[in-house]
A and B are shown apart, each in its own frame.
Chain A
C-alpha cells in the first residue's frame, strides 16, 4: 500500500497584485521524502514556498497537508500543524541572541519539549551551542543559515521547506549543507528543497520538479532527471 502524501499541492495559483506568478502548480511530498524544486531565477520558487507556508494567500488550487486542507489558512496555524519554512535570505532576528532566535523557533509550539528540541539542534549544530549569547546579526552568513535551519527545527516540523539553503555559502559550506540535508533525511524528516545547485540537489533528493513559466515543466525521480537531456541542457549547459 502506498502512503498518502504528506504534502499534496494541486493546481496552485498565486501572484502579486495584477501579476500572476504561479499558473497552476501541482506537486507532492511523501512522508520521509526529500523532494527538490528546481527552476531558474524568478520562476516563482520562493512564491511557491511563501504560499505553502501561508505568508501569501493562494488565488486558487488546493494545498493538502497531513490530510488537512491548508490553502488560505493562517500562517501561525500552518506552523503549528508542522509545515515549517526556512526562507531564502535566512531572515534570522539580527537584534536577538542565538538563544532567543532558537527559542522563538518554538513560539508556535509553546514551552513543552523545548529543552529536547534545543538539545537536538545543538547536536546537529554544535557551533550554535558555542554562540548562544552572540547577536544573530553579527554572525557570518554560513552561521546565520545554520541558525535559520536550527530555528526551523525548533518548531518540530513534519515537513521542512528549505529555500536555497546553500545560497551565498563557500564551496566547503555547501558540502556541509548537503551533508546536513542528507542527515535530516536519514532521521526521517520530509523535506522540500529549493535549490540552484541542481546536481547536488538531485543527489540528495528522491524526486524533483522543474518549474518553468509558473508551471511544473518536468518531474520525475532524481535519477531519471539527472540523466534527462532537457534538464542537462537547460541548467547545466551540457
Chain B
C-alpha cells in the first residue's frame, strides 16, 4: 500500500504527457484519416529542439514551450503542404510510404547532426520534490502533467467552441459539405496536421526536464502513442486523454508488482483486454 500510491500518482503524471502525444496522433487520424508514422520522429526532433534551446540558449523548456509549439506547428503545416498533402487523398500505401519516409529522413538527420548519444538538460526544478501528505511528487512531472492537461483542455475548447474548430470537425467527416459552406478543406487539413505536430512541440518541452533525448527516443513514445490511440478509440479526443492516463498508470503498476522484466507486458495485456471487450476502443464508435 505504501508503494501503491506513489506508483499510481507517478503513472498518472507520466500519462498526462502520453495523452498529449496521443492527442496529436488521434487528431491527425480523426481529421485526415491517415496514420502518421512520422509522429515519433517529429517528437524526437522537437525534443532536440527543446534541448538546443536549453543547452545553447539557456531557455528553460517551460519558457520555450510556446515557441517550440509554434515552430512545430509551422513544421507540420509545411510538411502537410509540401509532402503529405500531395499523397494524402490517394492510395493508403502512398501515405504510409510518405510518413515513414519522413521518419527515416528525420531519424538519420538527427544521427548525423547529434550522433547517437543521449543528452539531458539540467533545470533547477528537475530534482525537486513536493510533499503532498505521505507522497513525494517530483515537481517536473507535476508541472508536465498540469501543463499537458491544460493544453488538452485548451485544444478541446478550441475544437468545440470556435468556428475554425467546428470547421476542423466538419471537414473530418464531410469535406464536400464543408466546402459548400465556404470552408477550404485543404487549408483545414494542413491546419489540423500542424496542430497535431504542435502538440509534440509542447510535449517535448514537458518531457525534457525529466527525460533524455537521443535520435532513437521517438520509438519509445510512438509505440505508447499508438497504443493509447487505439485503446482510447481511433480519432477520439477523450479516448486519447483517458487512454494516456490509463497507460501511464498501468505501466507504473506493472513495474511495481511484476518488476522490470515482466512489468512491460502489462500495457500490451491491457491493450488486448480492452480490444477484446470493445474492438473500437474505449471511446471509439462504429462508423
Q: Check if A91 sits within 8 Å of B176, measured CB to CB.
A: yes
Q: Which residues of A contact B184 (CB under 8 A)?
A: 74-76
- Residues of B near A75 (CB, < 8 A) are 179-180, 182, 184
Q: State how many angstroms separate the Cβ of B147 from the closest Cβ of chain A.
A: 28
Query: Main secondary structure on chain A at its contact with chain B?
Result: loop
* Contact A104–B174 (Cβ < 8 Å): no
Is B276 in contact with chain A by the CB < 8 A criterion?
no
Q: Which residue of A lies closest to B182 (CB)?
A: A108
Given A93-B170, A96-B170, A104-B166, the answer on whether A76 and B182 have CB atoms closer than 8 Å is yes
Chain B residues within 8 Å of A55, by CB: 176, 179-180
The contact of A79 among B163, B167, B173, B182, by CB within 8 Å, is B182
For the complex formed, measure the closest distance between the CB of A83 and the CB atoms of chain B, giving whole angstroms: 11
B172 within 8 A of A: yes
In the complex, the chain B residue whose C-beta lies closest to that of A161 is: B180
For B179, the chain A residues whose CB sits under 8 A away are 55, 75
Question: Bound complex: CA of A95 vs CA of B31, how far in Å?
Answer: 12
Interface size for chain B: under 10, 10 to 19, 20 to 34, or 35 or more residues? 10 to 19
Q: Which residue of A lies closest to B164 (CB)?
A: A107
Residue among A74, A76, A106 facing the most chain B CB atoms (10 A cut-off): A76
Question: Whole-angstrom distance from the CB of B129 to the nearest CB of chain A?
Answer: 44
B63 smallest CB distance to A (angstroms):
34
The answer on a CB contact under 8 Å between A93 and B176 is no
What is the chain A residue whose CB lies nearest that of B184? A76
Contact B177 A91 (CB under 8 A): yes
- Asked whether A103 is an interface residue with its Cβ less than 8 Å from the other chain, the reply is yes
Q: Is B39 an interface residue (CB 8 A)?
A: no
Residues on B with C-beta less than 8 A from A91 are 174, 176-177, 180
Q: In the complex, which residues of chain B have a beta carbon less than 8 angstroms from the beta carbon of A105?
A: 181
Q: Knowing A104-B163, A107-B167 touch, does A93 contact B182 (C-beta < 8 A)?
A: no
Known: A103-B166, A104-B166, A104-B167. A155 touches B182 (CB 8 A): yes
Closest beta carbon of chain A to B157's beta carbon, Å: 14
* A87–B179 CA distance with the chains assembled, in angstroms: 11
Residues of A within 8 A of B88 (CB): none
Bound-state Cα–Cα, A92 to B166, Å: 13
> Which residues of chain B (197-227) have a CB below 8 Å from chain A?
none
A145–B74 CA distance with the chains assembled, in angstroms = 39
Cα–Cα, bound, A126→B99 (Å)? 48
**A100 in the interface (beta carbon within 8 A):** yes
Interface residues of A in 47-89 (CB under 8 A from B): 53, 55, 74-76, 79-80, 84-87
Docked CA distance A79–B179 (Å): 9
A interface vs B, CB < 8 Å?
53, 55, 74-76, 79-80, 84-87, 90-96, 100, 103-108, 111, 151-152, 155
- 13 A-B interface contacts by CB (under 8 A): A55-B176, A55-B179, A75-B182, A76-B184, A80-B182, A87-B177, A103-B163, A103-B166, A106-B181, A107-B181, A107-B182, A108-B181, A108-B182
Given contacts A100-B170, A151-B181, A152-B180, 13 further A-B contacts (CB under 8 A): A55-B179, A75-B182, A84-B180, A85-B180, A91-B174, A92-B174, A93-B173, A96-B169, A100-B166, A104-B163, A104-B170, A107-B183, A111-B163
Please name the 9 residue pairs, one residue from A and one from B, whose CB atoms are nearest each other, closest first.
Answer: A108-B182, A91-B177, A79-B182, A76-B182, A93-B170, A107-B181, A95-B173, A93-B174, A100-B166
